[in-house]
Amino acid sequence: MIPRIVLAPMEGLVDPPMRDILTRIGGIDWCVSEFIRVTEGPLNQSTILRIVPEAVNGWKTPAGVAVHPQLLGSDPHWLGVNAALLAEMGAPAVDLNFGCPAKTVNRHGGGAGLLRDPEILARIVSEVRAATPARVPVTAKMRLGYSDTSLTLECAQALADSGAAEIVVHARTKMDGYKPPAHWEWLSRIRQAVDVPVIANGEVWTVEDYRDIRRISGCDTVMIGRGLVVRPDLARQIAGDLKGESHVPISWQALIPWFEDFYSQTRERVAPRHAPGRFKQWLALLTRSYPEAQGLFDQLRRETDSDSMAATIRNLAAVELSDL
């Protein structure tokens, strides 16, 4: 199979502006949206469009990269109803979240909490598959388990046997959270236990990590989340490496114009008081790859005014442009 890179769904981090920026920088084959929470009832289209505004653009980012919506919930019937709604709206696939580690999600019977019961996984996937046209793939994202790996293979088999076309596996348990290491050796075991493609996920920060996760897991497709946020051209670096081409990493100076674009989009989506925090969140993560990010973060750490933040970013871009 052709190696592919998928942008991971990360609640409150990989939102529409981030998807837009990262897919325009390049190298990403498709994205999965932040989860759309399903309770007891049909979703409003306004809710769907708020989380996945790309739906009005043929479920593609401005760069033309497909976005697969993800549903989160525990009620098989209503997940099926809403998956059918997404299919009617033209979604290219419907993904099911069995991996979110958030306490609030797990307390309400969703995300990784469902990994304690393979039978409910099977009922959910079966119901969604039955409610969704055959042309629309139903996929699933899981972790290795809730607190241990005693049900890992059983959960993966339940998903595959019930109709999941692909399974993304984040190679940690819910209790592991995001603490390293990710247990890539489990990906190979899962891949051998199911008859559907397995997508590898977890702790890919560099081209070398990408090579290692593929070698250890045997997976052709890799999903990357935080690694792409902290190194926005990582997928492009990987694409070049696969072709035997070298890729000069995007410099701090070249990244700065993207900040203004990202912040402008963010201000259009959120209340003014929340916009500065959203940019600072990205900036804090960028410190892992760019030493310059720390100085800017320290400068903006206490900034809470949306207009002042915008002016600082605009001035920074103007200074960098004048230095070219």
Q: How sure is the predictor about 1, in pLDDT bands with cuts at 50, 70 and 90?
A: confident
Question: Does residue 247 form part of some domain?
Answer: no
Same domain, 210 and 230: yes
Residue 162 within a domain: yes
Same domain? For 159 and 305 the reply is no
- Say what percent of the chain tops pLDDT 70: 96
- Percentage with pLDDT > 90 across the chain: 91
219 in active site:
no
pTM: 0.95
Query: What CATH number is attached to the domain comprising 277?
Result: 1.20.225.30
pLDDT for the residue 101: 84
Instruction: Say if residue 132 is in the same domain as residue 100.
Output: yes
Average pLDDT over residues 118-138: 98
Kindly name the residue from 31, 100, 155, 219 that is annotated as catalytic.
100
* Structure confidence at residue 51 (pLDDT): 97
The residue out of 188, 216, 242 marking a domain boundary is 242
User: Does residue 51 sit in the same domain as residue 153?
Assistant: yes
Q: What are 26-83's pLDDT values in tens digits?
A: 999 999 999 999 998 999 999 999 999 999 999 999 999 999 999 999 999 999 999 9
**Torsions phi, psi of 260, nearest 5?**
-65, -40
Is residue 191 one of the residues assigned to a domain?
yes
Same-domain check for residues 188 and 258: no
Query: Of 186, 215, 242, at which residue does a domain stop?
Result: 242
* pLDDT exceeds 80 at position 200: yes
CATH of the domain at 93: 3.20.20.70
Split into its structural domains, the chain has a count of: 2
Question: What's the whole-number average pLDDT of the chain?
Answer: 95
Q: Which domain holds residue 21?
A: 4-242
Q: What is the reported pLDDT for 246? A: 81
Local confidence band at 296 (pLDDT 50, 70, 90 cut-offs): very high
pLDDT at 130 over 80: yes
Question: Which of 138, 28, 33, 22 lies closest to 79 in space, CA to CA?
Answer: 138
